[in-house]
Amino acid sequence: MNVADERSISCWMDRVPVVEAPPLAADARCDVVVIGSGIAGLSTAYELSRSGRSVIVIDRGTIGGGMTARTTAHLATELDDFYSELIRVRGEDEARIYHDSQVAAVNRIEAICRDEKLDADFARVDGYLFPAEEDHRRDLEEEFDACRKIGVEVEWVERAPVPGYDTGRALRFPNQGRFHPTKYLAGLAQAIIRHGGRLHADTAYVSDNEDENGVEITVEAGHVIRAGAAVFATNSPVNDKVAIHTKQAPDRTYAIAGRVPKGSVPDALVWDTYDAYHYVRIQPLGEAEDLLIVGGEDHRSGEAEDMDQRLDALERWTGERYPSFTRAEYRWSGQVLEPIDFMPFSGRNPGSRNIYIHSGDSGQGITNGVAGSLTIFPLIIGEDSRFAPVLDPARKSLTSTSSLGEFVRGQAGVMKNMAEHLGPSEVASEDEIAPGEGAIIREGLAKLACYRAEDGSIVRRSAVCTHAGCIVHWNGFEKCWDCPCHGSQFAPDGEVLNGPAVKPLAEA
């Protein structure tokens, strides 16, 4: 199982699984084992297999069925947290290199589509950033100045291409991109197989053992993969308890999609400056229609119960600005991991020699995931990567008041959650839980995660996340248990959907 088993369906998920793949059926050996089959994992596996390395990719669920299938797939080189903020945190030199990594990622996607003849609807489009409110104009002026300092191509325009709304002056970023993410993953998976790689679905990682000769990965069925190196590209690293998880925090994000007449919405990426910001693009459907895709309304995972209202707000926001939009055919959510210094973690796992990780994609999972592959691949084959020092998972992230503030915010949430061990039940008894819903109930000193199935039966599990001991919260929209501390997700019966947890919620 993975997040493909959550309730909502994105507009991309008709292509999940992106390729049929059997579970691992026996012990195996390879040069590199990749854990995770999203954009970061498959991109890394592609680079390795193309270079002649033997590669095995495993995933706890379907291939390509993780968070990449829940993205809106903006191929943006502009930083969603703003380069003005990144410069304050990391300085101009590192901000410049980070921007170069995003440009390299979009270029690499374009090259792979061309070289492998992938039908992924890739197109170059402009990106536009407009102020959501009058007092946000100063933010755009600062961002324009910051971008010019580090060589980002940007210019002022009189308005962003939003048909039903006068945005006022906006920033235009040329040479951005968009594509169909699961079509791309499907093509990438087939290319990996052509280059000799192996893909195994329904093969959950359990543990790893590293020595001077390489890494052993044990999977749930008991089989062992012996490899020279391992790459963890699992959204949140499943092999770490602490190293990365104190440097990032999980956010739940929402998206909608609905049909509009062809040409009624310009083919561009559009972002505003709200916190949380809105982001807009189209996906071509045919000669008569496009799909308008809008995201936003983010919040810290496990800390909101108004998911349907947030999606309703997205629909209202869209209808007010795009008159051709009438209704959402798709409403879904996903999870992103927000790094405290705005850049992902890609490279050697802290303290490891042969284990590599990629995580912390923020709202730019596609470009950051591909940039991660362009960072990790050279390191594995013994070459230098210009991006590695900047994206190093072992880097010191608390370098400014901005990053310190993000750290404090994240850790305050963890401490608040730990106090929930002592809190009361959410309902007086199991009788108050409606079919298809869940709630936390105290039983003596224990907290229980109780779910009432549609047939009326109760499923009772420990409410303690098996990763680091936080109390899970019920997600009524996706019908799963969310851990607000580090982003683990569990099915109603306690099975793991998303890491960093690798063990199910305990029987109660």
pLDDT for the residue 5: 86
Give the β-pairing of 224-232 and 28-35: parallel
pLDDT for the residue 86: 97
Q: In this structure, which amino acid lies at residue 88?
A: R
Q: In this structure, which amino acid lies at residue 318?
A: T
Contacts 24+ apart (CB under 8 A), 448-457: 448/508, 449/474, 449/481, 449/490, 449/494, 449/505, 449/508, 451/492, 451/493, 453/492
Burial class (CB in 10 A: 0-12, 13-18, 19+), 109: buried
Smallest CA-to-CA distance from 147 within 176, 170, 171 is with 171
Cα–Cα distance list, 42 to 166, 197, 314 (Å):
41, 10, 31
SS3 at position 250: strand
CA distance 295 to 281: 9
pLDDT for the residue 303: 81
DSSP string, 375-387: HHHHHHTT---TT
pLDDT for the residue 16: 83
Q: Do residues 362 and 81 make contact, with C-beta atoms less than 8 angstroms apart?
A: yes
Residues pairing with 453 in the sheet: none
Q: Do residues 75 and 176 make contact, with C-beta atoms less than 8 angstroms apart?
A: yes
DSSP symbol at 393? T
Other C-beta atoms closer than 10 Å to the C-beta of 26 total 7
Rounded to the nearest 5 degrees, what angle is found at the Cα of 494, between the Cα atoms of 21 and 12?
Answer: 45
DSSP symbol at 136? G
Domains observed in the chain: 12-71+182-246+342-400 (3.50.50.60), 423-498 (2.102.10.10)
Q: Do residues 185 and 118 make contact, with C-beta atoms less than 8 angstroms apart?
A: no
CA distance 354 to 212: 8
138: alpha, beta or left? (left if phi > 0; alpha if psi -120 to 50) = alpha
Q: Please list the alpha-helical segments (H only) found in 180-234.
A: 181-194
Q: In this structure, which amino acid lies at residue 440?
A: I
CA distance 170 to 166: 10
* Residue 374 structure tokens: 């362009």
CA distance 275 to 297: 8
CA distance 128 to 162: 10
Report the number of secondary-structure helices (H) and strands (E) in the chain.
9, 24
Q: Do residues 44 and 373 make contact, with C-beta atoms less than 8 angstroms apart?
A: yes
- pTM for this one? 0.94
C-alpha 430 chain-centroid distance:
34
| Helix pair angle (92-115, 83-90), 10° resolution | 130
Give every residue of the chain whose pLDDT is below 50, as ranges: none
Other C-beta atoms closer than 10 Å to the C-beta of 174 total 12
Smallest CA-to-CA distance from 33 within 23, 17, 44 is with 44
pLDDT for the residue 3: 80
CA distance 161 to 240: 44
